[in-house]
Amino acid sequence: MTKPLPPGDLSPLADVHCHLGENLARELQLAQGGSVRAVVLTAARAEEFGPIAKLCADTCAADTRPRLIPAFGVHPWYAPSAPENLEELLDRAFDTAPLGALLGEIGLDFARPKEEHAAQRALFRRQLAYAACCALAAVVHSVRSVEEVIAEVKALRRRPVLLLHALSASADQIHRLAALGGYFSFSAHALAPPRRRMRAAAAAVPDDRLLIESDWPSGSDSPAAVADALVPLAELRGVPADELARRIWANSRRFFAAAGII
């Protein structure tokens, strides 16, 4: 079994999926001085755009680590109540991020009641079109909807860079999404032994498209402990954890560059 690495032995890392939470300031303080260099702070509702923009701007002005990178978008769970002027709200939010931002968290979740699916599809298309038009990378949530996500992305004339977060999918679906510009991120919590399908998906991700996340405050993971995801990933992929950490950091930098993050 792969053992956790001491912090001093770790490559720099990025937590590419984290949310607002009551104790986020404490979690980020714990991450200071460690291996975490960047945290993507992802919105779920339009009401979160302002707080995320302010927190990221304050952190940037203070020049502290980890750097916070904002992501603005509406999660499929909130599709039925998405604001009609969403594009206007997105424009305002992205204007507050001179060093770059992502679009997200967007997507489809067909584990939700069927009555919501039409609204989810409509919102996903709107936000994908916005990402394509503005050359933004999109953070995508997909549950029981992988084929639908693939179809919607393929329908675009101009395709955004994608970050598929905690995706449970077949190896074939993983490779088709990678061919469409997809990167894939996983947390330690998402890779617990009972979650066989997601573990198989993580093992199938191409070496140059693998990233890690905490998805805080969901589960038990934290931005400060995002390196915990290296342990199950190293076991699944049959590589030393320190080597995998360096590879994932290189992937993170490539992803941020493709997303226009300065």
Give the model confidence (pLDDT) of 15-36 as tens digits.
Answer: 999 999 988 989 988 888 789 9
pLDDT over 70 percentage in the chain: 97
Q: Quick one: DSSP state of residue 20? A: -
Checking if the pLDDT of 7 tops 80, the result is no
What does 148-167 look like in DSSP terms, one character per residue? HHHHHHHT-SSPPPEEEES-
For residue 113, give the nearest of 144, 86, 140 by alpha carbon.
144
Checking if the pLDDT of 9 tops 50, the result is yes
Q: Stretch 111-138: mean pLDDT, rounded?
A: 97
State residue 1's pLDDT score.
39
- Which one is predicted more confidently, 37 or 63? 37
State residue 62's pLDDT score.
77
Q: Stretch 89-106: mean pLDDT, rounded?
A: 96
Checking if the pLDDT of 6 tops 60, the result is no
Packing angle between helix 171-179 and helix 146-154, nearest 10 degrees? 20
Q: For residues 227 and 2, give the distance between their C-alpha atoms in angstroms, rounded to a whole number.
A: 13
State residue 3's pLDDT score.
46
The answer to whether 39 and 211 are in contact (CB under 8 A) is no
Q: For residues 171 and 176, give the distance between their C-alpha atoms in angstroms, rounded to a whole number.
A: 9
**Phi/psi class of residue 129: alpha, beta or left (left: φ > 0; alpha: ψ in -120 to 50)?**
alpha
The answer to whether 102 and 138 are in contact (CB under 8 A) is yes
**Phi/psi class of residue 109: alpha, beta or left (left: φ > 0; alpha: ψ in -120 to 50)?**
beta
Give the model confidence (pLDDT) of 178-234 as tens digits.
Answer: 999 999 999 999 999 999 999 999 999 999 999 999 999 987 789 999 999 999 999
Give the model confidence (pLDDT) of 135-172 as tens digits.
Answer: 999 999 999 999 999 999 999 999 999 999 999 999 99
Q: Minimum mean pLDDT among 79-88, 107-116, 211-220, 241-250: which range?
A: 211-220
The answer to whether 213 and 198 are in contact (CB under 8 A) is no
Task: Name all domains of the chain by residue range, CATH numbers in brackets.
Answer: 8-258 (3.20.20.140)
State residue 219's pLDDT score.
78
State residue 65's pLDDT score.
81
Q: What is the pLDDT of the chain when averaged over all its residues?
A: 94
